[in-house]
């Protein structure tokens, strides 16, 4: 059984650019959630996708958007990057609303 994987592991962008982060969910999971973890903070919920539809959203601006594909993998897109977007981005998958399994994260640095 393959766990949750994320790519890339690290990324450096400049302010104003756009970025796409990718997540492959664990086998058998149909729900993907994305979280942002700033330094010294706990993960903050961005949004969740269930069967390709957005199922809930946290307090993040519209420049944070996402997609879920028929194979339940997912993308997180961030437009017009700001310095404060520098963080670890975590993807978690689950079967419906059961326990969430996290990937190792993508470390994004915005210069």
Partner 1 sequence: DQQVKQNSPSLSVQEGRISILNCDYTNSMFDYFLWYKKYPAEGPTFLISISSIKDKNEDGRFTVFLNKSAKHLSLHIVPSQPGDSAVYFCTSSGTYKYIFGTGTRLKVLA
Q: Which residues bind partner 1 (CB under 8 A)?
A: 4, 33, 35, 40-45, 48, 50, 55-56, 58, 90, 92, 97, 99-105
Q: For partner 1, give the closer residue by CB, 48 or 110.
A: 48
Cα–Cα separations (whole angstroms), residue 34 to 37, 58, 111: 10, 10, 22
Which CB sits closer to partner 1, 69 or 102?
Answer: 102
Shortest Cβ distance from residue 72 to partner 1 (Å)?
16
Reading the block at residue 45, the tokens are 């919920």
Closest approach, Cβ 55 to partner 1, in A, equals 5
Cα Rg of the chain, angstroms: 13
Cis peptide leading into residue 8 (ω within 30°): yes
The distance of closest approach from Cβ of residue 37 to partner 1 in the complex, given in angstroms and rounded to an integer, is: 8
Considering the complex, state which of residue 94 and residue 110 has its C-beta at the smaller distance from partner 1: 94
Name the residue nearer to partner 1 (CB basis): 81 or 100.
100
- Report the alpha-carbon distance of residue 73 to residue 69 in Å, rounded: 5
Q: Among positive and negative, which fits the CA dihedral 39, 40, 44, 50?
A: positive
Shortest Å distance, C-beta 96 to partner 1: 10
């Amino acid at each position: 059984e393959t766990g949750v994987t994320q790519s890339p592991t690290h990324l450096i962008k400049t302010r104003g650019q756009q970025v796409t982060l990718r997540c492959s969910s664990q086998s058998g999971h149909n729900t993907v959630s994305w979280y942002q973890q700033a330094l010294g903070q706990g993960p903050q919920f961005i949004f969740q996708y269930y069967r390709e539809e957005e199922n809930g959203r946290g307090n993040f601006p519209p420049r944070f958007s996402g997609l879920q594909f028929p194979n339940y993998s997912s993308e997180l897109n961030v437009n017009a990057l700001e310095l404060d977007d520098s963080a670890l981005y975590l993807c978690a998958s689950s079967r419906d609303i059961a326990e969430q399994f996290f990937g190792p994260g993508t470390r994004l640095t915005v210069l």
